Amino acid sequence: MVFDFLVTIQAPKIENMDTFTKTDSAILAALTSLSDEEQMFRTAVRDFATSQIAPLVSHMDQAQEMDVGLLPQLFELGLMGIEIPEEFGGAGSNFFTSILVVEELSRTDPSVATLVDVQNTLVNNALARWGSDELQAHYFPKLASGWIGAFALSEAGSGSDAFALSCRATRDGDDWVLDGQKLWVTNGQEASTYIVFATVDPEAGHKGIAAFIVDRDNDGFSVGKKEDKLGIRASSTTELILDSVKVSSWKVLGELGIGYKVAIETLNEGRIGIGAQMVGTAQGALDHTIRYVHEREQFGRTIGDFQGVQFQMAEAATELEASRLLVYNAARLRDTGEDFLVPAAMAKLHSSRMAQKVTSLCIDLFGGYGFTKEFPVEKFYRDSKIGTIYEGTTNMQLQTIARGLLG
């Protein structure tokens, strides 16, 4: 069971600087150096992805459906409740472990990685930080054992301007009644519960927003149109319809009026997950391409023997490793409680651009074969495009970085 490898990883505490050796310094400085437990865990996830997910990737992409047989396995392996405390049935691990999972799954299928990413970096994290003891006791056991969650912020009129919400929540005694529509909801089709953001006080602007937990079986709640997408096609992206949906007051996530803060700070963490998706996506395409250039022969030798191909592969590998370092750094900063806002934006910015560049190169090196669905690199290329769009566009990341630099 993967549970054996899901351990909380803490940075070493330096009690006495006089005993802080060069070896200690090297360990702290090597972002890609993993503990034995992390190595075993990454290997276990990679083996699962190769044996169980890889044979299903093409069919799921064409059908635009997640294979239902995969979902119980993701829970059984502990991949859907990585940071959920053990007392609630979760793995009790850390954020960096979630990032490793997302990266490894993306090497095989970014669609499956997206489902796992949203569950861990958005839904579970928001509940862990902002949920009351009652909410956590009620939802964590479900989210660790079989329930999929979704994060419903965007609407038709609120994309990058995320808080121009038309979805309304009005008081009804001790309850709230939600009316409106949500768009671009990842995991919308599979989810059993949703974090829904709605305006409770239009006059208060962004400070008049609250986050509510809405279950799929609530009266008046329904899943609407499912989007037909360019990439990550097996990952569902849907509309949600709320028609006088009654929500109990104890299902408010955080306090009234801080919904904007719940959303922003959760998405700041989620961007590191997107970075991991892009790193894994590019790595998956590069893995296939390395094998191909060793096998494909032209002019009497493999194309990998040509310096022009070698140099392009070297450039791609370097850009990929730079993105990985940015992602790992942001994740480690988050786990140690340090400021990670700008590092997270940098990680998403660089990795999303890198993934498009690397997967495009991989298609070029495959030649005409790369342009067909018979070979896997075209799918990685399509899957990479979403990285510059969701959980904050490229321009939004640049804005965040600029503010961090210039104030």
Round to whole Å and give the CA distance between 345 and 361.
24
Alpha-helix runs per DSSP H in 14-117: 22-29, 36-48, 57-63, 70-76, 95-108, 110-117
Q: Compute the C-alpha angle 12/17/19, nearest 5°.
A: 85
292 SS3 class: helix
In 3D space, the residue among 138, 77, 152 whose CA is nearest the CA of residue 112 turns out to be: 77
Q: Are 209 and 257 in contact (CB under 8 A)?
A: yes
Distance of CA 331 to the CA centre of its chain: 12
Round to whole Å and give the CA distance between 224 and 191.
13
Q: Are 116 and 25 in contact (CB under 8 A)?
A: no
Distances (CA, A) of 136 to 7, 74, 91, 127, 250: 21, 21, 15, 7, 11
> What does the block give as tokens for 18?
């006089």
Q: Choosing from 83, 239, 319, 391, which is the catalytic residue?
A: 391
Burial of 3 (0-12, 13-18, 19+ CB in 10 A): middle
Known active-site residue 391:
yes
User: What amino acid is encoded at 333 in this protein?
Assistant: L
Q: Provide the annotated active-site residues.
A: 391
